Amino acid sequence: MITRTRLAAGACALLAALTAGIAVPAGAAAGEPTGRDAPKVDLVLDVSGSMRARDIDGQSRMAAAKQAFNEVLDATPEEVELGIRTLGANYPGDDRRTGCKDTAQLYPVGPLDRTEAKAAVATLAPTGWTPIGPALLKAADDLDGGDGSKRIVLISDGEDTCAPLDPCEVAREIAAKGIGLTIDTLGLVPTAKLSRQLSCIAEATGGTYTSVQHQDELTDRVNELVDRAADPVVTPVPAEGADRCVEAPVLKSGLYTDREGFGQQRWYRVDVPPGKELRASVSVAADRAVNPGYGVLLRAVTVKGREIVRGEAAGTGRTDVISTGLRYPKAGSDDEDAPAEAVCLAVSHSFSAAPGVQSTPGLPLELTVDVVDGPDDAADVAAFGLGRGWWLLGVLILTGFLAGLVWGWLSRWRVAVWRTN
């Protein structure tokens, strides 16, 4: 089953600054906050024996995790109820049955006492097994109750050691309960196998997977996810883009989710009335291992195929989400009955799957569409987009032509003066 990944909470906020005003719209199409209860976050930390490895900035994985947790606890918003659960922290033996039950609530989900939580984290030492599946089931119980947002942040340096209880199936089971719980996963110095497993867990509930190589990356990412839980939750609306503009679904202002295959292009349509401005942004997430060097392109195109304006961004492999946006103001009209212009939005990306990585389903994308009041000055509209680019190109060509004439005249004058002397 294809699941949907929520990307917009952080990426669209960035786009708001980059594209001068794109914002997540309110209203039924964009979704509403899940409720008035406090948001809840359960940090689930792998404390298995492999966390002794000293390969994160010269310190052990356990030391890096402790330092990150302390900084996260200091930065946790007051309104967030936060808890900490461990897996593999208590049983050092070889009995698999016992080791696969080794998950415990280190600090209960609730109002945060930073001093008490830090004291609990300080007691941790790498110990035993890696029962990811059982820990996820218990973490879901930790977050039970209330209608606020619920988020599990799983941090592990190794794949589950308690098969046949597949943690991906556990995540799908949690998602099927319809309790609105998101699982985000972070892999510490991950192998390809661990990345696949953690990506699968996150994808099942609409979460994100992040590979972590450094302690500051771990701190920043966990902080971001905890902050995301405190933000109003916007539920994306499923939309299935078409292969051609003429077949594209017509979208209203809102937040939409889709999947786009490698090498594929998705088309959507938006009606832009005279005097209005189209603002659009797109975020594409790498929910599996991809080759470094990629980009995303968002184009606004007329139904006749003329490109109006575009937004594009490139990445090098350091982030798991890449975003871009565009704006298109439609000139006003003296005719009150003037029809809206049908604008096609084309989304494409240049991600490529790493060797041995499954290429289906496509990568998750989120598209934000907003049609707002346009600029008052008609000249601003005429100068926007490609029109502005063509004017600039014309000015540059004319300037170059005149400069060439002047330079040629000066050269001939100098030659004439030299010959007369």
- Sheet containing strand 237-238, edge to edge, reads 237-238, 254-260, 363-373, 276-285, 321-329
Identify whether residues 265 and 364 lie together within a single domain: yes
Q: How are beta strands 254-260 and 209-212 bridged, if at all?
A: unpaired
Of 196, 230, 264, which marks where a domain is finished?
A: 230
Residue 401 makes CB contacts below 8 A (sequence gap 6+) with none
Task: With both helix axes pointing from N to C terminus, report the angle between 132-142 and 192-204 in degrees, rounded to the nearest 10.
Answer: 30
> Do 331 and 378 meet the contact criterion of CB atoms below 8 Å apart?
yes
| Count of domains observed in the chain | 2
Coil, strand or helix at 287: coil
Identify whether residues 112 and 225 lie together within a single domain: yes
Task: With both helix axes pointing from N to C terminus, report the angle between 215-230 and 61-75 in degrees, rounded to the nearest 10.
Answer: 30
Span 90-106, average pLDDT: 92
Give the Cα separation of 192 and 202 in Å (integer): 15
Residue 120 has pLDDT above 70, yes or no: yes
Report if residue 417 sits inside a domain: no
Which of 50, 163, 40 lies closest to 109 in space, CA to CA?
40
Q: Could you tell me the CA-to-CA distances from 249 to 236, 294, 316, 325 in Å, in that order?
A: 16, 27, 32, 19
Tokens at 345, concatenated: 């939005």
Q: Could you tell me the CA-to-CA distances from 156 to 48, 51, 184, 360, 420 in Å, in that order?
A: 9, 9, 11, 25, 85
Residue 224 makes CB contacts below 8 A (sequence gap 6+) with 10
Report if residue 401 sits inside a domain: no
Of 98 and 413, the structure prediction assigns the larger pLDDT to: 98
Residue 301 makes CB contacts below 8 A (sequence gap 6+) with 245, 307, 308, 343, 344, 345, 346
Identify whether residues 184 and 290 lie together within a single domain: no
Identify whether residues 217 and 246 lie together within a single domain: no
State residue 174 phi and psi, 5-degree precision. Answer: -65, -45
Residue 137 has pLDDT above 90, yes or no: yes
Identify whether residues 342 and 256 lie together within a single domain: yes
Identify whether residues 183 and 313 lie together within a single domain: no
The DSSP letter of residue 231 is S
What percent of the residues of the chain are helix, what percent strand, and what percent coil, each to the nearest 5?
30, 30, 40
Identify whether residues 214 and 330 lie together within a single domain: no
The enclosing domain of 272 has a CATH number of: 2.60.120.380
The owner of tokens 């990506």 is: 199
Residue 370 makes CB contacts below 8 A (sequence gap 6+) with 22, 23, 25, 253, 278, 279, 280
Report if residue 64 sits inside a domain: yes
Of 380, 397, 415, which marks where a domain is finished?
A: 380
Lowest average pLDDT, out of 11-20, 48-57, 325-334, goes to 11-20
The enclosing domain of 177 has a CATH number of: 3.40.50.410
Of 176, 211, 230, which marks where a domain is finished?
A: 230
Identify whether residues 106 and 203 lie together within a single domain: yes
pLDDT digits (tens, 9 = 90+) for 227-260: 888 876 566 788 899 999 999 999 998 888 898 9
According to DSSP, the residues that pair with 150 across neighbouring strands are 40, 181
pLDDT digits (tens, 9 = 90+) for 23-48: 333 333 333 344 468 999 999 999 99
According to DSSP, the residues that pair with 366 across neighbouring strands are 257, 283
Identify whether residues 86 and 219 lie together within a single domain: yes
According to DSSP, the residues that pair with 45 across neighbouring strands are 86, 155
Give the Cα separation of 3 and 178 in Å (integer): 13
* Residue 17 falls in which region: left (phi positive, over 0), alpha (psi -120 to 50) or beta: alpha
Residue 61 has pLDDT above 90, yes or no: yes
Identify whether residues 244 and 197 lie together within a single domain: no
Give the Cα separation of 158 and 138 in Å (integer): 19
Give the Cα separation of 299 and 327 in Å (integer): 10
Report if residue 15 sits inside a domain: no
Report if residue 395 sits inside a domain: no
pLDDT digits (tens, 9 = 90+) for 333-370: 666 678 889 999 999 998 888 888 888 888 888 898 98
pLDDT digits (tens, 9 = 90+) for 192-233: 899 999 988 988 887 888 889 999 999 998 998 898 888 765
Identify whether residues 213 and 246 lie together within a single domain: no
Domain residue limits at 340? 237-380
Identify whether residues 270 and 374 lie together within a single domain: yes
